[in-house]
Amino acid sequence: MLIELRASDDRLRGPKAVDAAPILTSAYRAIADSLPDLSRVRVVADYIQYRQNFRDAVELRRVEPWAIDSATLDGDARSWEVAIDLRRAKPDLLEATLKDALDETNGTSSRLPLEQWGHGSRSVIWGFNGLYWKALSLWEQATGKSYESALPGGESDARNVQAARELILKLFELWDNLSTRRALPEELYVLEIGVGNGNQAAVFLDEFRRLDREKGHGYYRRLHYLMGDYSPHVLDLARKAVAHHPEHVSSLVLDALRPTETLGFLRYKAFLVYISNVYDNLPTDEIVRIGGHLFQVETRAVFDRSAAESLATSVHAKPDDLPELVARLLRLGPELLAEVLPEHFPTVTDAVTFWRSAWEALRLEERYVPLIELDTYEIAPEIGGELLRPIVEANGDVRMHVSNGAATSFADTLPLLHPHGVLQCHDLFVTDIHQYVDGFRGPGKYDGSVVNWVNGRLLAAIGNRRGFDVSFASFAHRTGANVLTMTARSRD
Ligand SMILES: C[S@@+](CC[C@H](N)C(=O)[O-])C[C@H]1O[C@@H](n2cnc3c(N)ncnc32)[C@H](O)[C@@H]1O
């Protein structure tokens, strides 16, 4: 039996430590009593810092045998991973819960699935995530909280004035140089993807106008600030925030995964592409290396039976109706849902309450399926899985995010950059694969949206292959924050 503690040093010893020993003892007792072959079990204990997440305090994952021809294996060669959340596990309860789960392994799960097993990036959780941004005002009205209060530090770094000023002064410097060489185009484009409430855009534009007046360049007159987001509602908010710059702002409904589809005209023209707290909100798969073998983490969204029963009762339905009701909620949104199913949702408020309760109850079951041919796995369009090999093999066994959405978005944004342009991104990046070993990197829930740290090593590899230097630095204007600034610029 292998036991792995994936928590930072200060969670394992010192004043902030959890008492891991009784938790592990309980797990050991349950496993020793229930499983015949202890060599086929791993215990992985994380400290999950997200108070809202997709796991119960203890979860069981099946590990499919890693063999090219599993028919040649004797008997049941499946192994198990027992996943424990050190923050929430209670030693006295854990033993019984785990025993029940292990006893169930040959029977049916007590949970109600909302979907088939599949890659994490295709889970229904991303439908919830998209709905959150599309119907943000309804959610915020119900909770009385803004989305920003759920971000690291309680507000977005995007609205930091000093950071905006530095960025603008660097742009002015570049433009002055190009202007001296008569190489500065008339139109000066800046693109922001994933604009939220528009605070960043407002800070940037206010500072830009102020600094331009101070320096007398006349760049503000030539500036086009493009705001892109897939949520028309969010774009409305953002437009209001920058209404005092009407001549210089355009807003576009676009998918961050495919910016060139909407912004073909911008190819090689953007001097700055700015993206903050978006990559950590895009769909991702996870892979795991165990004993040198690679596995795909497959997931399926489920409700615990008891949660399903109370959720169903609250909307005059049966638990088995829930997968269809959830699917309709995600397709239609709460307003239309209340219109078409008044017998379940008499008012929009009822539909929003159902949405919030479903989100709270949502769990992800996981299983590990062999990933035998990495070259047939697609990270993003035209980016094959082999790019992952040196990263996933750098540090022994590891479980890590592929960050497919961020990779897709990044690769499709680089072609928009002017040869001297810069892509700047504030986000939660993993830059050293060891960070996957000593901390939990997602998925967590931020209010109604999903958060996963972003595999910075992979983005750097993608940028490098395309001729870009990619660097990471701590966000200079806030201490103690996990947010890093990634900068990509052409090597030429
Ligand atoms: C956490 S908010 C960040 C807002 C702002 N940049 C900030 O830092 O405060 C994420 C933003 O990304 C947008 N977003 C998420 N996924 C997207 C996608 N696939 N395409 C376009 N926008 C997306 C959301 O609508 C939302 O406005």
The structural domains of the chain, with segments of one domain joined by +, span 1-108
What CA–CA distance (Å, rounded) separates 6 from 84? 10
Structure token pair of residue 444: 């967590």
Please give the mean pLDDT across all residues of the chain: 93
Structure token pair of residue 198: 């528009």
> How much distance in Å is there from the Cα of 193 to the middle of ligand 1?
7
Residues enclosing ligand 1, CB less than 6 A? 133, 156, 158, 194-196, 200, 229-231, 234, 255-257, 276-278, 281-282
Task: Give ∠ CA 204-411-279 in degrees, rounded to 5.
Answer: 55
Q: Per DSSP, which regions of 33-187 are E strands?
A: 41-46, 58-63, 79-85, 112-113, 118-119
Which of the residue ranges 141-145, 364-368, 427-431, 484-488 would you say has the lowest mean pLDDT? 141-145
What CA–CA distance (Å, rounded) separates 443 from 364? 10
Beta bridge mates, 302: 113, 363
Q: What is the pLDDT of residues 160-177, one digit of tens each?
A: 899 999 999 999 999 999
DSSP letter at 405 equals H
Q: What is the pLDDT of residues 271-296, one digit of tens each?
A: 999 999 999 999 999 999 999 999 99
> How much distance in Å is there from the Cα of 134 to the middle of ligand 1?
10
What CA–CA distance (Å, rounded) separates 442 from 81? 18
70 — pLDDT class (breaks 50, 70, 90)? low
For 120, 133, 194, 251, the CA distances from 254, given in Å and listed in that order, are 23, 13, 9, 9
Q: Per DSSP, which regions of 150-260 are E strands?
A: 188-193, 223-229, 249-253
Q: Of all protein residues, whose CA lies closest to atom 14 belonging to ligand 1?
A: 194
pTM score, two decimals?
0.95
Q: Of all protein residues, whose CA lies closest to atom 5 belonging to ligand 1?
A: 196
What CA–CA distance (Å, rounded) separates 286 from 450? 14
What CA–CA distance (Å, rounded) separates 204 from 151? 20
What pLDDT is attached to residue 4?
94
What CA–CA distance (Å, rounded) separates 187 from 219? 9
Q: What is the pLDDT of residues 103-112, one digit of tens each?
A: 876 656 689 9
What CA–CA distance (Å, rounded) separates 175 from 429? 30
